[in-house]
């Protein structure tokens, strides 16, 4: 199988903070890659660099063979991001937000209508389509944000805490959708819900202080940490070496 993403010594320094510190790894095509770590571990910074939203301080990565530092425009056409802070236009309606995204990707009128209708149906957004987005509840704003990311049928999808604030029904719906997407999309998912990462991911990477602490399937990480559960394994890797 081909690599969808190859990361080579990627580093991001903010002032004196080494947010991502010399990370190297590969992600295969159609892999669902879970990115875990405590608050401030560097997950969002890594995703922002891979999706060309922020430039690395050093190092590089290729996505489908294109370099994030040398060919960011080509990278951008193949990917989509659902950011941690939802990126919707608050004064536009649900439908208008989706149409705006379709426009960003250069869809013609006909394709815009087809894809917008498809996303509204897939995410059960029909009752809200004429409502201004800022008047939606937080969970529905999140669903809209993910629908906007998916409208372009990206080959690589970044989901930064997609289920944050969703109720259990919404989370289960999204899990089912992610399971379906896995068939044709490479997905990088961050979450603080460990059972979610365990259930959905092919491999999981645990980050701490900008570095990789462990990488493997949930089962492999449990065996490596020699613990009963994945949650215990996670705690083991993020506290390993701490004196507290
Ligand atoms: N724009 C920025 N300017 C300065 N420091 C930043 C910036 N963005 C992130 N950082 C710092 O980089 C580190 C990593 O942050 P990041 O947002 O990548 O963590 P995270 O793993 O996504 O955390 P969380 O689980 O809370 O979302 C933190 O110490 C954070 O304060
Ligand atoms: Mg984050």
Summarize pLDDT for 160-191 with one digit per residue, the tens: 999 988 888 888 888 988 998 888 999 999 99
- Statement: residue 85 has pLDDT above 90: no
**Which pLDDT value is given to residue 174?**
86
Per-residue pLDDT of 188-206, as tens digits, reads 999 999 999 999 999 999 9
Structure tokens at 37: 């770590």
Question: Closest Cα partner for 90 from 42, 26, 133?
Answer: 133
Instruction: Note the ligand closest to the C-alpha atom of 53.
Output: 1
* Distance from C-alpha of 238 to C-alpha of 207, rounded to nearest angstrom: 8
pLDDT at 142: 86
User: Nearest ligand, CA of residue 16?
Assistant: 1
- The CB density around residue 21, as the number of other CB atoms within 10 Å, is 19
Q: Residue 68 has what pLDDT?
A: 98
Please report the pLDDT score of residue 135 as a whole number: 95
**Residue 83: predicted pLDDT:** 87
155: helix, coil or strand? Answer: coil
Rounded Cα–Cα distance for residues 218 and 230 (Å): 6
Per residue in 31-56, pLDDT (tens digit) is 999 999 999 999 999 999 999 999 99
Contact status, residue 148 vs residue 88, Cβ threshold 8 Å: yes
| Probe residue for ligand 1, chosen from 36, 37, 41, 189 as the CB with the greatest number of ligand atoms within 8 Å | 41
| Alpha carbons 75 and 105: distance in angstroms, whole number | 13
The pLDDT of residue 243 is 66
Residues 105-114: what's their mean pLDDT?
A: 95
CATH fold, domain 3-239, is Rossmann fold (3.40.50)
HSE of 70, CA atoms in CB hemisphere, 13 A: 8
Under the banding of pLDDT at 50, 70 and 90, the label for residue 244 is low
Pocket-forming residues, ligand 1, beta carbon under 6 Å: 14, 17, 19, 37, 39-45, 84
Residue of the CA atom closest to atom 12 of ligand 1: 19
The answer, yes or no, to whether residue 138 has pLDDT greater than 90, is no
Q: So what's the pLDDT on residue 169?
A: 86
- At CA 199, angle to CA 197 and CA 203, rounded to 5? 60
Phi, psi of 26 (to 5 degrees): -125, 145
Tokens standing for 133? 């987005």
Radius of gyration of the CA atoms of the chain, in A: 18
Q: Tell how far the Cα of 45 is from the centroid of ligand 1, in angstroms.
A: 6
% residues pLDDT > 70 (the chain): 99
Q: Which residue has the higher pLDDT, 69 or 77?
A: 69
Residue 33 is classified by DSSP as E
Q: Which ligand neighbours the alpha carbon of 43 most closely?
A: 1
Distances, alpha carbon 174 to alpha carbons 86, 93, 126, 158, in Å: 16, 22, 17, 14
pLDDT band at 30 (very low <50, low <70, confident <90, very high): very high
Atom of ligand 1 nearest to the CA of 12: 12
Best CA proximity match to 83, nearest among 179, 22, 9, 157: 157
Give me ligand 2 centre to Cα 114, in Å: 33
Would you kindly state where each structural domain of the chain is located, as residue ranges? 3-239
Residues 6+ apart with CB under 8 A from 212: 23, 25, 205, 206
**How far apart are the CA of 48 and the centre of ligand 2, in A?**
10
């Amino acid at each position: 199988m081909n690599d969808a993403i190859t990361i080579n010594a990627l580093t991001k320094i903010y002032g004196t903070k080494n947010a991502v510190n010399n990370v190297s790894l590969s992600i295969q095509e159609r892999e669902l890659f879970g990115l875990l770590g405590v608050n401030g571990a560097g997950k969002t910074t890594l995703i922002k660099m891979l999706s060309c939203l922020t430039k690395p301080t050093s190092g590089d990565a290729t996505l489908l063979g294109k370099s994030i530092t040398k060919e960011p425009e080509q990278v951008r056409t193949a990917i989509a991001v659902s950011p941690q802070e939802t990126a919707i236009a608050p004064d536009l309606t649900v439908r208008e937000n989706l149409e705006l995204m379709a426009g960003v990707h250069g869809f013609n009128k006909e394709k815009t209508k087809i894809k917008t209708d498809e996303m509204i149906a897939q995410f059960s957004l029909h009752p809200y389509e004429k409502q201004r987005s800022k008047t939606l509840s937080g969970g529905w704003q999140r669903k809209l944000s993910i629908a906007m990311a998916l409208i372009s049928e990206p080959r690589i999808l970044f989901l930064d805490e997609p289920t944050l604030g969703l109720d259990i029904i919404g989370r289960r719906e999204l899990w089912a959708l992610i399971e379906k997407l896995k068939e044709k999309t490479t997905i990088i998912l961050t979450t603080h819900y460990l059972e979610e990462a365990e259930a959905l991911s092919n491999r999981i990477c645990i980050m701490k202080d900008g570095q990789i602490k462990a990488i493997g399937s949930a089962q492999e990480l449990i065996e490596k940490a020699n613990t009963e559960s994945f949650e215990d394994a996670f705690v083991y890797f993020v506290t390993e070496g701490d004196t507290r």
